[in-house]
Structure 1
Amino acid sequence: MLHDSAHVPKPSLTEVLFGWFLRLVSASCFWFALNYWAMLIGFSHEGAGRFDLLTPEWRAAATALAVLYPVAAIGLWLLVSWGPVIWVLAAAIEAAMVEFYPGMLGARPLLLVLHGSVVVTFVLFRAALFWQRLRQARQVRVDSP
């Protein structure tokens, strides 16, 4: 007797590791979100990062990052396709603000290295998954005509 449910293939090691990687990035996004919220309410940076004390550029960026990072964290944790897109947007805003307006938070080269390493790792995982799916598609299947 045949089962009436569709056969779901077991995820590969690459897919499992990619999921764990995205969840790790999600946790870091949540940490960044908490840091931005703490800065905006005056809890960190000895109150120097309070919203009313920021320059207009940093007001816009810090507010956007305080909203984008938790959204990215949720999207990455749920492994949905829009999670990495929101993360790239938030990381690009943060990198641009740190690079072009370093006056408020100072130079943070480690942050740029962190974002860059996440991008490189993400691209490598996506390339590995693409190559794996391409190999699987070329294999002869039992249901091939």
Structure 2
Amino acid sequence: MSDPSGAGPIEQLAPVHAEDYRPDREGWAWWLVVFLRVAAGLAMIKGLYHWSAVCGFGARPGEGFDAQSLSWQTATVFFAVIDLVAAVGLWLAAPWGAVVWLTGSVTMIVVQVFFPLIYGFHWIVVVGLVAMIGAYLFFAVMAAREQPA
């Protein structure tokens, strides 16, 4: 039998349909996509920041990547990779992008709060990430309520 919607299995799995997110569209789903794109930009900046630390940009002699502790190196490489992967997934508004971003954000909060010897404790990072997670949950719930049953 043929699919009455006309969409094949590949089209049903596509994470974003451009026609669904027109700039003139109002509603919570549109605001969720806007939030995801802003979060993607921030994740991209954060990932590039960590890669600059790995590559030694701006480091004084003797303070480069190889001079840091193993825990600092491990955390920096982890965040350099996961933030850039999350940025791609968030920009596509793919469900896996939000999962990767939430994993990286919660991990950064844990590192900041429970392992301050790695990066030090920066309360602004913790508060900012908690606020972004809260905003994501708000937009996701509101967009889900807007969808027909």
Place the TM-score, normalised by the shorter chain, in its bin. Answer: 0.7 to 0.9
Is the contact made by 2:27 and 2:143 (CA closer than 8 Å) also made in structure 1?
no
SS at match of 1:103: helix
- The question of 1:119 aligning with 2:96 is answered no
Q: Which runs of 5+ in 2 are unaligned?
A: 7-18
Query: How do 1:1-145 residues align onto structure 2 when only pairs under 5 Å count?
Result: 12-44=26-58, 46=60, 50-133=64-147, 136-137=148-149
| Structure 2 residue identity aligned to 1:52 | D
RMSD: 2.5
**Matched pairs, number:** 131
Measured against aligned partners, the alpha-carbon deviations of 1:96-129 in whole angstroms (never above 9, x if no partner) come to 2222332343321111111101111111112112
Going from structure 1 to structure 2, the CA distance change for 1:31 and 1:77 (only over 3 Å counts) comes to same
The structure 1 segments of at least 4 consecutive aligned residues displaced by more than 3 Å after TM superposition are 8-12, 44-49
Q: Distance in 1 between matches of 2:83 and 2:76?
A: 10
Going from structure 1 to structure 2, the CA distance change for 1:96 and 1:54 (only over 3 Å counts) comes to farther
CA distance in 2, matches of 1:47, 1:105: 19
Distance (whole Å) between structure 2 residues aligned to residue 82 and residue 26 of structure 1: 13
**Match of residue 140 from structure 1:** none
Change (3 A) 1:88 1:9: closer
- Gap change, CA 1:22 and 1:100, over 3 Å in 2: same
Q: Which amino acid aligns with 2:42?
A: S
Relative to the length of structure 1, the TM-score reads 0.78
Question: Compared with structure 1, are the counterparts of its residues 9 and 38 closer, same or farther at alpha carbon in structure 2 (3 Å cutoff)?
Answer: closer
TM-score normalised by the chain length of structure 2: 0.76
Greater RCO (Cα-Cα under 8 Å, separation 6 or more): 2
